[in-house]
Structure 1
Amino acid sequence: MGRRILIVDGHPDPDPGRYCHALASSYAKGAAGMGHVVHRTNLSELDFPDLRSRSDWEDGKPPAAILAFQGQLAWAEHIVIIYPLWLGSMPARLKALLEQAFRPDFAQGGKTVSPGGGKLKGRSARIVVTMGMPAAIYRIFYLAHSLNSLKRNILALVGIGPVRDTIIGAVESRSDVSRKRCLEHMRRLGERAA
């Protein structure tokens, strides 16, 4: 029986040449080929405002794009988030999407923070991060700070786990052969819904 997979292509640039888009497509192709049901959300296509106050986060009505995204999150059994590392973290637009979607009533089961108490408990996830620096430097020197923050302070807080990760470093200097190898790895991960 196939799993329900949501792929969040978190690159804010719609340019089809962005490597994150190719990684998302490879994962989707592998997953669909093995009978998993795949939905894909492209951050670059979503229109929503940034949150500007706590009261809006707690009591405001989410815009239509966010309500649709929340529905996809609730539907999914496995969530894949793919994004480029920008200034040491996820792009601001991706963070804005997560802030909008993970409102207390939806993600935490109410206004009082209740870790793992919302509608996302029990889902698994994979985070795929691309970057210009070598992956080992990000993991060892920078301690994968922003990746670990996303895993622990956002996803685990709302009950998503286990959360696995893939870091693809030195993307600008990789050869075509190396890039194709990474795309093949994504396809195999998609086949396993891992």
Structure 2
Amino acid sequence: MKTLIIYTHPNHESLSYAFLQEALKGCKENEAILDIQILDLYEEKFDPILIFNKEKRRRDMAKDPDLIKYREQLLWADKIVFIYPIWWGRPPAMLMGYIDKMFAAGFAYEDKGGLLPDGLLKGKSVVCISCMKGPTLYPLFWLNNAHKALMKKALLQYVGIKKVKFFEFGNMESPKGKQQIKLEKIYRYFKDLTQ
């Protein structure tokens, strides 16, 4: 497996960063994972702002020369891992900007005039690792699972990615949040991953 980890948090002393370290540790101890690339969107200074004008048109976004490196990473990866916090019930704006730019028509999907497009990223799988201050079941009961619906149905299935695994950890700012147990769970998942 070739694994691309997309990390989205501005602080390298955050719990999200600790999840990144545990995922990496597990990946490096797993013989099934052949190669790993890390894209740290904040460290990379990825520009999440969409600009459409006479020079940059939305329909040409799949060919934007500024995004070649990122398109190549997505095509290269068998498994894509997103690590991010949940802020206001959704991923950070930086990650949403990345998604807006990268999962473009002509690259991630092709519109053929039917009810649904043809997803062009078939065969890949995704793992979403997120943490939040609120209770673990808050997104399910209060927000009707909006975060998972956004990532799985509105984005990943749309572009042909059907295999999606979520780790959504709540109570992460609480002394009773069992952070170490959850970090170990991520390490073990990637250490034992077979596909």
Q: What TM bracket, shorter-length normalisation?
A: 0.7 to 0.9
Return the alpha-carbon distance in structure 2 between the equivalents of residues 49 and 169 of structure 1.
Answer: 26
Shift of 1:111: 8.2
> Which position in structure 2 is the counterpart of 1:78?
79
Shift of 1:30: 0.3
Q: In structure 2, do the counterparts of structure 1 residues 49 and 56 end up closer, same or farther at CA, with 3 Å as the change threshold?
A: farther
Q: In structure 2, do the counterparts of structure 1 residues 174 and 156 end up closer, same or farther at CA, with 3 Å as the change threshold?
A: farther
Q: How many residues align?
A: 187
Shift of 1:73: 0.9
Structure 1 range deviating more: 134-143 or 87-96 = 134-143
Return the alpha-carbon distance in structure 2 between the equivalents of residues 44 and 111 of structure 1.
Answer: 35
Deviations 1:125-166 (A, max 9, x none): 111111110111222222221221111011110011211101
Say yes or no: does 1:16 pair with 2:15: no
Shift of 1:21: 1.2
Structure 1, gaps ≥5 residues long: none
Identity of aligned residues (%): 27
Query: Which residues in structure 2 correspond to 1:53-64 (within 5 Å)?
Result: 53=52, 56-60=57-61, 61-64=63-66
> Which position in structure 2 is the counterpart of 1:182?
182
> Which position in structure 2 is the counterpart of 1:172?
173
Say yes or no: does 1:191 pair with 2:191: yes
Deviations 1:75-111 (A, max 9, x none): 1111111111111211111100011111111101368
Aligned to 1:44, the other structure's residue is in SS state coil
Query: Which residues in structure 2 correspond to 1:1-194 (within 5 Å)?
Result: 3-11=1-9, 13=10, 15-35=11-31, 36=33, 37-46=35-44, 47-53=46-52, 56-60=57-61, 61-64=63-66, 66-109=67-110, 115-118=117-120, 120-175=121-176, 178-193=178-193
The answer to whether the Cα contact below 8 Å between 1:105 and 1:111 also exists between their aligned partners in 2 is: no
TM-score of the aligned structures, taking structure 1 as reference length:
0.86
Structure 1 range deviating more: 142-151 or 164-173 = 142-151
TM-score of the aligned structures, taking structure 2 as reference length:
0.86
Shift of 1:6: 0.9
Superposition RMSD in Å: 2.2
Return the alpha-carbon distance in structure 2 between the equivalents of residues 152 and 103 of structure 1.
Answer: 16
